[in-house]
A and B are shown apart, each in its own frame.
Chain A
Amino acid sequence: MSASSSQALEYLELLPRQTHTKLYEQPSTVLAVFRCMLPHLAKSIVMAMLYMPSPFPAADLDAWFRPEAKKEKEKALSVLDQLHIIVHRVDASRQVSYELYKGFQRSLRHALEGSGTHGSFGVPASQPDPNKVDVAFLDDYARKQWENILFYMVGSTVGLATSGALGQDVGTGTKQLLKMGDFVKVVNGRVNITQAGFSFVLQDTNAQVWSLLIVYLRNAAALGMSETDVLSFLFMLGSLELGQDYTTSTLSPTQLKLLEDLSQFGIIYRSSDDAPTFYPTRLATTLTSDASALSASQSLSTSLATTHTDTTAKGFIIIETNYRLYAYTSSLLQIAVLSLFTKLTTRHPNLVSGKLTKESITRAVSLGISSAQIISYLTAHAHPQMQKQQPFLPPTVMDQIRLWEYEGERMEISTGYLIKEFATEGEYRDVAGYAESLGVLVWRNDSKRVFFVDRIEQVSAYLSRKNRAG
């Protein structure tokens, strides 16, 4: 499971049983859930039970697993249980056995056999499209739309918002969604990225799409859509074929409405708003596949996030042990993301170079980016030359990035009061001693006669009593 699908899994697990039941009516949904949500062993269990004529006795299941794999078994079973895929059954003689949930079983069988008349894997357009588009166009379109969204988010923070046309034509619906997901905050008409937004930007594309879609799903009810409808449509999108046009005539009104929003994200492409067909883009078709599993050749994140030249398609960042960073890219977005945590110095037509400095990292950390995020971003986009080593990044650099973050964490913030300007040394010692005995003293400096307390009530009462007495 990649990070992206685990996000979706978390969301799915929280859904009530009724929603699951409704979801499992669509074979495409069931197949997608099976393909990307289940842990590896859970898949084996499901498949073993799929064509089993009788319930699977728990004792047999235990015997099937090696004793040392008990933990994995429990984990797999609990996921299956939470997604309402298996049912526990206790028969008359108190023997526990497991059974696949009937709807799930039926749909998964349909999906594997290709039987039934559900048509849930998308109905291709019957008429050939007069203005058919090719895969390259779709990739380009998806990349542009998605980069727009990202650029809209980072643009203002790194001060590049006005420099290009990027980030300008983001739909109002998308903007609203980003606000609802707490990825950006609009302050005085200026778009400010939030901490959640930063982690969003640094994720790989597949995970980004899912995060955005989950926000969408959470708010589906408010938009007057049924959650299950939206979800099963998304799962269907994941099973479509890139470069094929599909008809919109079989879609429900909700799904038609959804289609408009999705084309804003660049997840699907329509030649016009009322076109009878739609094309899924790579963002859609990789929804239910593991980008990380494809890290080698056709990873979405790399194919989308980089420039067109082949040399950069697999990653573009080189970091030396002296913290110098070279990024073979000319994409404004990537430069913007890099500049979040790098001190960029020079820019060439296809290369930017800079340095990871303490200052740049601590600035990023103060913006809410964690060192782990930076490292995983750098790892994910490491140049093939870097990928020859294991680990990809020089260990010194990784350690130093963490150290810089820890350094920031060394500072402990405590709100409180600074008490100063004591007339005499004796008075200072007396009050400071009292504060210390109370346990409210945080810091003191005897030579300057100042100290700091996090609670003042008792100290001020003590002071006023002292004044009255004196």
Chain B
Amino acid sequence: MNAIDGTVRQVKTDDTPPPSLLAIVLDTNPHAWAHLSSTLPLSSAIANLLVFINAHLASGNANEVAVIASHSRRAQWLYPTPKGPISHHPSSNGDANGDIEMNGVSHPNGSTTTTTPAKENANKYRPFSTVENAILSNLSNLLSSTTESDLASTPTTLIGGALSLALTHIAKSTLLHSPVDPLASDNPLSALADSESVARTQRIPLTSRILIISVSGDLANQYIPVMNSIFAAQRKRIPIDILKLAGDTVLLQQASDATGGVYMKPERPEGLLQYLMMAFLPDAVARRSLVMPSAGGVDFRAACFCHRKVVDIGYVCSVCLSIFCEPNLPGNLCLTCGSYLSLRAAQTATPALVARKKKKRKRVAGTDSATPSGTPAATTPMHP
């Protein structure tokens, strides 16, 4: 009879890995892709990406994918196609051109069978082809709707917006996936205490991660939105993986480091598919038993709030912890919170320079986690 005490009550040992949602943020910055075109043209990158998406979908029966293009001036859904009125540009007659090009893309080994989205392809698994068709048509819409003035106005990409889109999508899917939310009905407030309630439910239905395929260099102008997204992801335990095909930014390194994601900057972008398959395909469950690449030395410098420059030494508002690169604030008021802030006093005193620690700092609220330790002490706001 004693044997019964040892019985495991949890009969249903479900060793199936949970379905995983992969949100891909594809940097479609035309300037950066133009630079890359000799080694890895966008079309073949997309072809590789599609194979990777299929591989992800095949790895788990309930796996999901979402693709967001972070374009030069806006972030655009590629998959799933957003419902409701999509802004159809009058230049949609450019579709035909884009379609032919894209069809060639979808068959990397050269067998270009012309597939229209409506027709069934017996050589292709249905779920794969629906995703592919949606991505390709949305992407060609996006590219054909890009005007020259868009290109001229900015050389960079809207990664912050795309990241927030990815996070919102993940949050929504997670909610939709949890079949019974035991706390929601009992206590409507529990939805507010997000991470706690997730931890308490036994069945976490969806594991999510974000993959940013980035080609753009300087992203410091979006320091604040991106940082906010990073902290949101950190709180929700969503790893952000970075595949940096070109350029270099401090920001994305910090993103993968803070959220425990993979950071990779391949030397040869041509081998994109192999990098994707090997380093970015394993989901959270598989990663527990694999050694994943990560950024070696992470640059923890922050960007200032006034000119979006990455600063070694900056000035910090003592009320809201905003960072500024120069002490001459208009009217001695903090640009962010508006409190009185005179930084000139700090300027005269030689700042005590402490050697920057290379140590990772995990959880520090607000943006100050990224400030170097050698920040000069800002004077407390004193009213005249």
State the A residues within 8 Å of B (CB): 1-2, 27-28, 31, 34-36, 40-41, 43-44, 47-48, 50-52, 63-66, 68-69, 72-73, 110-124, 239-241, 244, 288-290, 292-297, 314, 372, 375-376, 379-380, 384, 387-391, 395, 398-399, 402-403, 406
Cα(A289)–Cα(B107), bound, Å: 26
Once the chains bind, are B10 and A115 in contact (CB under 8 Å)? no
Contacts of B9 in A (CB 8 A): 391, 395, 398-399
Smallest CB gap from B121: residue in A:
A114
A-B contact pairs, 18 of them (CB 8 A): A1-B16, A44-B281, A50-B55, A52-B274, A66-B288, A72-B289, A113-B51, A114-B107, A114-B121, A115-B123, A117-B111, A121-B124, A293-B16, A295-B179, A384-B180, A391-B10, A398-B9, A402-B7
* B328 → chain A closest CB, angstroms: 52
Interface size bracket, B side: 35 or more
B41 within 8 A of A: no
Q: How far is the CB of B56 from chain A (nearest CB, A)?
A: 9
CB distance from B370 to the nearest CB of A (A): 29
Q: B54-92 toward A: CB 8 Å interface, digit per residue (1/0)?
A: 110011111000000000000000000000000000000
Contact B128 A114 (CB under 8 A): yes
Chain B 1-42 interface mask (CB, 8 Å, partner A; 1/0): 101100101111011110100000000000000000000000
CB <8 Å contact, A35 and B281? no
**Inter-chain contacts of A50 with B (CB < 8 A):** 55, 277
Q: How far is the CB of B197 from chain A (nearest CB, A)?
A: 13
* Interface check B290, CB cutoff 8 A: yes
Question: Quick one: given A112-B51, A376-B12, are A44 and B122 in contact (CB under 8 Å)?
Answer: no
Query: CB-CB < 8 A to A294: which residues of B?
Result: 61-62
Known: A297-B179, A388-B182. A2 touches B16 (CB 8 A): yes
Tell whether, in the assembled complex, residue B19 and residue A65 are in contact, meaning their CB atoms are under 8 Å apart. Answer: no
Contacts of A402 in B (CB 8 A): 4, 7
B277 touches A51 (CB 8 A): yes
A69 to B285, CA, bound (A): 12
- Given contacts A380-B12, A406-B1, list 16 more A-B pairs with CB under 8 A: A1-B16, A31-B58, A31-B125, A35-B58, A40-B285, A40-B286, A43-B286, A48-B277, A111-B58, A114-B132, A117-B123, A118-B123, A119-B122, A239-B126, A297-B179, A402-B4
Contact of A51 among B7, B128, B274 (CB under 8 A): B274
B354 at the interface (CB under 8 A from A): no
In the complex, A34 Cα to B286 Cα: how many Å? 16
- Mark each residue of chain B from 107 to 144: 1 if its CB lies under 8 Å from any CB of chain A, else 0: 11101000000001111111011001000000000000
Known A50-B277, A379-B12; contact A121-B125, beta-carbon cutoff 8 A: yes
Q: How far is the CB of A467 from chain B (nearest CB, A)?
A: 45
Contact A44 B125, CB 8 Å, known A52-B274, A390-B202: no
Contact B61 A289 (CB under 8 A): yes
Most buried by B among A51, A111, A239: A51
| Residues of the A chain whose Cβ atoms lie less than 8 Å from the Cβ of B3 | 406
